[in-house]
């Protein structure tokens, strides 16, 4: 019974000493230790008991080693003021250098001053004032700092460095300089391992060839790949690309844009829009789909063209000349001119829009079609239109009555952006409802090799035969049913776009 009692007492005492030992060890680990000094003096500094250390001074606090030329050690407060060639090291994660520091062993806060450098394997931070929290592994400055990471130089007014994650957080006047570009940002996060910058505010990236702006996104400076959001755009050499989000590969000179995409060529006043775009800088190439639209911009009256796919590419003869291709279901709208075709090509070298595969145009009450159509622009205004092979003009006069003119080729002429004359050449035929004021009095059917069709207020006003016609005039009641339509007549009115929105119908 007594032996059992003594065994229990022994176990209690043993536990007490073990816990006391651990507690004392913990207490000792929180106390700063002096590892080396050439001279040790006892001193009172500002009325506080201090130890003065001079020459080859070394301290240790837990895993941190500290070096300096001289120091004051306040043992009661567990603090150190260090001077001359100071440095603090903690394994491979922390290397701090400067001219002076204050260290509080209770809070593990370092206040490093004067020519401060924080160095790790990938990065060097330089500043004159750096506070570092060893407990949280976070350093910060508020009076300007510079970071060197590989071939990137980063500057900011305010910065935080998270040692464990190798991440900087910058605020105010942030600048990243790279041999290929310079970034300017309001707020930025940067990972020194992946060399990726994350934008958290208005940011500009300026290079020799372009400027990129965004208010959110990221840029991998090692791979030169990036993604931009919120008011993002890329501009350079007279072109402007924007969308809800942009992806850009600088090495390939290639970008992708998604949702509300706009590609603007300001030199030629051409705008391409859609919800997806693939863009290559050299040789210039762009492909837009998903509600794709091409706009020939004019202050007074722009032309809007829609197709399933729009493609822009540089011509081989010159980087300044472009081809814009539109294919599958082309429709366009202009206040005084509308049209449709299966496909189209616009050449900037001569400002000509080519329409292929059943092209049809409308102006006022007139429908004009041919095997191929060419619209010739100058100074953003229509000058002439060529209807090549099987040109056919139809004007609805009312009920089942249609004035018609056809010929091998037809050329339309414009004044101040208004169609005023059509010239028909080769195998010309007409079926024209003659009027006395607004009353139809008969139908004139004629054959003539050359014909002028005069247009006023977007209506056929008169027909002029330039060579001797072979003609016959029918009173309205005497026109045979089979004579009402010239061969090849088709009325496409139900497909005509009546508004900018209608081209998507």
For 413-443, the pLDDT digits (tens) are 988 778 899 999 998 999 988 888 778 888 9
Q: Is the pLDDT confidence value at 220 over 70?
A: yes
Average pLDDT, stretch 492-497? 94
Q: How far apart are CA 441 and CA 479, in angstroms?
A: 12
Rg (CA), the chain: 41
In this predicted structure, what is the pLDDT of residue 170? 94
SS3 26: helix
**Model confidence band, residue 16 (pLDDT cutoffs 50, 70, 90):** very low
Q: What is the pLDDT confidence band of residue 49, given thresholds at 50, 70 and 90? A: confident
Predicted confidence (pLDDT) at residue 254 exceeds the cutoff of 70: yes
Residue 28: pLDDT over 70? no
Token look-up 């249609």 returns: 402
Give residue 9's region: left, alpha or beta (phi > 0; psi -120 to 50): alpha
pLDDT at 316: 63
Question: CA-CA-CA-CA torsion for 268, 269, 275, 280, nearest 10 degrees?
Answer: 20
Q: Domain coordinates of the chain in residue numbers?
A: 30-135, 385-499
Percent of the chain with pLDDT over 70: 93
Higher-confidence residue of 73 and 23: namely 73
Q: Tell me the three state secondary structure of residue 478.
A: helix
pLDDT in tens, 277-326: 999 988 889 999 999 999 988 877 889 999 999 999 887 655 567 889 99
CA-closest candidate to residue 370, choices 398, 411, 337, 338: 411
Q: Which residue would you say has higher pLDDT here, 19 or 372?
A: 372
DSSP letter (8 states) at residue 209: S
Whether 429 and 407 have beta carbons less than 8 Å apart is answered as yes
- Record the pTM: 0.77
For residues 214-228, average pLDDT = 95
Calpha distance 32→235 (Å, rounded) = 58
Q: Please count the helices (runs of H) and the strands (runs of E) in the chain.
A: 1, 40
How sure is the predictor about 456, in pLDDT bands with cuts at 50, 70 and 90? confident
Residue 57: which residues within 8 A CB-CB, separation 6 or more?
Answer: 34, 36, 37, 67, 68, 69, 70, 71, 82
Q: What does CATH list as the number for 385-499?
A: 2.60.450
- Tell me: pLDDT of 18 over 70: no
**Mean confidence (pLDDT) of the chain:** 88
What CATH architecture is 30-135?
Answer: Sandwich (2.60)
**Adjacent-strand bridge partners of 30:** none
The answer to whether 30-135 and 385-499 have equal CATH topology is: yes
CA dist list (Å): 217 to 184, 199, 332: 13, 5, 36
Residue 3 has pLDDT above 70, yes or no: no
Taking residues 58-81, what's their average pLDDT? 95
Residue 132: which residues within 8 A CB-CB, separation 6 or more? 88, 94, 96, 109, 110, 112, 118, 138, 139, 140
Q: Which of 5-14, 176-185, 471-480 has the lowest mean pLDDT?
A: 5-14
Kindly state the greatest CA–CA separation across the chain.
146
Burial of 424 (C-beta count, 10 Å sphere; 0-12/13-18/19+): buried
Task: Tell me phi and psi for residue 246, to 5 degrees.
Answer: -125, 135
d(CA 225, CA 149): 17
pLDDT confidence of 9, banded at 50, 70, 90?
A: very low
Both tokens of 238, joined, read 């007279």
Nearest to 401 by CA among 443, 370, 438: 443
For residue range 300-314, list pLDDT tens digits in order.
788 999 999 999 988
**What is the DSSP secondary-structure string of 401-460?**
EEEEEEEEEEEEEEETTEEEEEEEEEEEEEEEEEEETTEEEEEEEEEEEEEEEEEETTEE
**C-beta neighbour count of 5 within 10 angstroms:** 9
pLDDT at residue 319, as a whole number: 53
pLDDT of residue 317: 57
Rounded Cα gap, residues 178 and 297, in angstroms: 37
Higher pLDDT among residues 121 and 100, named by residue: 100
- Mean pLDDT for 67-80 is 95
Q: What is the model's pLDDT at position 439?
A: 83
Cα 39 from chain centroid (whole Å): 64
Q: What does the block give as tokens for 445?
A: 């059917």
pLDDT value at 84 more than 60: yes
Q: Which residues pair with 131 in a beta bridge?
A: 111, 140
Q: Is the pLDDT reported for residue 105 higher than 80? A: yes
Average pLDDT over residues 197-226: 94
According to the per-residue pLDDT averaged within each range, which of 361-365, 378-382, 463-467, 496-500 is highest? 496-500
Kindly indicate the confidence band of residue 379, based on its pLDDT and cuts at 50, 70 and 90.
Answer: confident
Residue 45 has pLDDT above 70, yes or no: no
**Among the listed ranges 40-44, 251-255, 293-297, 472-476, which one has the minimum average pLDDT value?**
40-44
Collapsed DSSP state (helix, strand, coil) of residue 290: coil
Distance in Å from the first CA to the final CA of the chain: 102
- Phi and psi torsions of 265, nearest 5°: -105, 95
Listed range (18-27, 28-37, 324-333, 470-479) with the worst mean pLDDT: 18-27
Residue 110 clears pLDDT 90, i.e. is over it: yes
List, in sequence order, every residue forming a beta bridge with 445; answer none if it has no partner: 431, 472
């Amino acid at each position: 019974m007594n032996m059992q009692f003594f065994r229990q007492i022994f176990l209690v005492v043993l536990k007490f000493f073990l816990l006391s030992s651990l507690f004392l060890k913990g207490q000792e680990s929180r106390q700063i230790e002096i590892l080396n000094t050439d001279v040790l003096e006892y001193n009172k500094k500002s009325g506080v008991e201090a130890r003065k250390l001079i020459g080859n001074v070394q301290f240790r606090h837990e895993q941190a080693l500290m070096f300096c030329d001289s120091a004051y050690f306040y043992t009661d407060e567990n603090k150190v003021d260090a001077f001359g060639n100071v440095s603090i090291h903690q394994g491979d994660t922390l290397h701090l250098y400067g001219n002076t520091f204050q260290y509080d062993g209770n809070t593990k806060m370092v206040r490093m001053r004067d020519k401060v450098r924080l160095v790790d394997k990938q990065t060097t931070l330089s500043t004159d004032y750096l506070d570092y929290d060893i407990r949280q592994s976070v350093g910060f400055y508020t009076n300007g700092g510079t970071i060197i990471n590989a071939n990137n130089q980063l500057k900011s007014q305010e910065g935080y460095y998270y040692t464990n994650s190798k991440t900087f957080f910058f605020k105010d006047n942030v600048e990243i300089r790279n041999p290929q570009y310079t970034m300017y940002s309001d707020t930025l996060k940067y990972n020194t391992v992946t060399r990726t910058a994350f934008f958290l505010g208005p940011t500009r990236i300026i290079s020799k060839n372009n400027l990129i702006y965004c208010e959110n996104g990221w840029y991998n400076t090692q791979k030169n790949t990036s993604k931009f959001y919120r008011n993002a755009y890329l501009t350079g050499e007279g072109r402007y690309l924007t969308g809800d989000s942009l992806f850009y590969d600088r090495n390939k000179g290639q970008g992708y844009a998604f949702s509300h995409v706009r590609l603007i060529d300001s030199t030629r006043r051409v705008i391409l829009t859609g919800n997806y775009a693939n863009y290559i800088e050299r040789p210039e190439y762009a492909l837009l789909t998903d509600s794709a639209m091409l706009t020939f911009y004019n202050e007074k009256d722009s032309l809007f063209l829609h197709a399933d796919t729009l493609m822009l590419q540089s011509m081989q003869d010159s980087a300044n000349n472009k081809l814009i291709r539109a294919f599958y279901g082309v429709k366009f709208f202009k206040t005084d001119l509308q049209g449709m075709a299966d496909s189209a090509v616009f050449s900037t070298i001569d400002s000509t829009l080519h329409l292929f595969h059943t092209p049809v145009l409308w102006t006022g009450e007139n429908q004009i079609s041919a095997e191929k159509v060419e619209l010739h622009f100058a100074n953003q205004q229509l000058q002439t239109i060529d209807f090549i092979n099987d040109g056919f003009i139809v004007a609805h006069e009312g009920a089942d009555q249609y004035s018609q003119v056809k010929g091998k080729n037809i050329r339309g002429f414009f004044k101040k952006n208004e169609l005023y004359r059509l010239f028909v050449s080769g195998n010309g035929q007409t079926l024209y409802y003659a009027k006395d004021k607004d009353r139809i009095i008969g139908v004139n059917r004629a054959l003539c090799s050359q014909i002028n069709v005069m247009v006023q207020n977007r209506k056929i006003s008169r027909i002029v035969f330039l060579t001797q016609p072979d003609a016959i005039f029918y009173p309205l009641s005497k026109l045979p049913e089979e004579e009402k339509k010239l061969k090849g007549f088709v009325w496409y009115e139900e497909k005509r776009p009546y508004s900018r929105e209608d081209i998507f119908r």
